[in-house]
């Protein structure tokens, strides 16, 4: 079932979500939620969706970055972002650890802040300890765009939106991003607008 994606201003997007007990994960309610979140993310389309974004205050997110999406970017933009295909998977009760000091700054957007985009600095590499949809413990090591997706989705579980972390001067409509900046590097954007 396709769910409504809640927009900034809803309290559920600003509150810490609740952890799931491992025994809850196999329930029809949670498995149905995961199925609906997958359908909603693909329909949007998006590369990640956290349960608070569909009005459910639980520490669950789905992630998928298919090769077809990456192929829509100019190859040099995809390479800069370290964007590589990520198969569909579910993270539950994730704990996030930055690996190393390196960071990267790119434009990102959010399905719950529809129509806007801004530059956000994120750790380049992360480790995530979580459960999967079968309640099995999983360790994820990620870098590049996948690391950014994980940080963005885990922020949602803590009531944080990218606008809390963005470089405010870079905020723009996605329409204007597409019109003026989609083929310009972030470094060049900084040179012209910083």
Chain positions contacting Zn ion, by CB under 5 A: 110
Nearer to Zn ion, 44 or 184 (CB): 44
Catalytic residue among 153, 175, 186, 188: 153
Q: Please report how close the Cβ of residue 81 comes to Zn ion at its closest, in angstroms.
A: 17
110 vs 154, which CB is nearer to Zn ion? 110
* Rounded distance between C-alpha atoms, residue 37 and residue 6, angstroms: 13
Instruction: Measure the CA–CA gap between 117 and 144, rounded to whole angstroms.
Output: 18
Q: State the nearest-atom distance from the C-beta of 75 to Zn ion, in Å.
A: 26
Task: Check if 80 is active-site.
Answer: no
User: What separation in angstroms does the CA of 94 have from each of 60, 70, 100, 120, 184?
Assistant: 8, 25, 19, 21, 34
Which token pair is 160?
Answer: 């944080």
Question: Which tokens sit at 85?
Answer: 């295909």
Position with the least CB separation from Zn ion: 110
- Phi then psi dihedrals of residue 167, to 5 deg: -80, 110
User: How near is the Cβ of 156 to Zn ion at its closest, in Å?
Assistant: 6
Q: Which is nearer to Zn ion, 69 or 190 (CB)?
A: 69
Residues serving a catalytic function are 153
């Amino acid at each position: 079932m396709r769910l409504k994606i809640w927009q900034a201003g809803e309290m559920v997007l600003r509150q810490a979500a609740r952890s799931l007990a491992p025994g809850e994960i196999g329930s029809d309610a949670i498995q149905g939620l995961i199925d609906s979140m997958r359908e909603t993310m693909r329909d949007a389309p998006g590369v990640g969706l956290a349960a608070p974004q569909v009005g459910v205050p639980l520490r669950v997110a789905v992630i998928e970055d298919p090769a077809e999406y990456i192929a829509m970017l100019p190859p040099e933009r995809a390479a800069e972002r370290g964007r590589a295909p990520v198969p569909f998977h579910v993270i539950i009760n994730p704990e996030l650890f930055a690996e190393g000091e390196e960071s990267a700054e790119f434009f990102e957007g959010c399905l719950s802040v529809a129509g806007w985009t801004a530059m956000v600095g994120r750790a380049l590499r992360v480790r995530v300890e979580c459960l999967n949809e079968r309640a099995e413990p999983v360790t994820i090591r990620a870098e590049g765009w996948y690391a950014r997706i994980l940080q963005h989705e885990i922020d949602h579980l803590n009531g944080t939106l990218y606008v809390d972390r963005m470089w405010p001067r870079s905020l723009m409509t996605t329409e204007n991003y597409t019109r003026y900046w989609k083929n310009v590097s972030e470094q060049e954007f900084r040179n012209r607008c910083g």
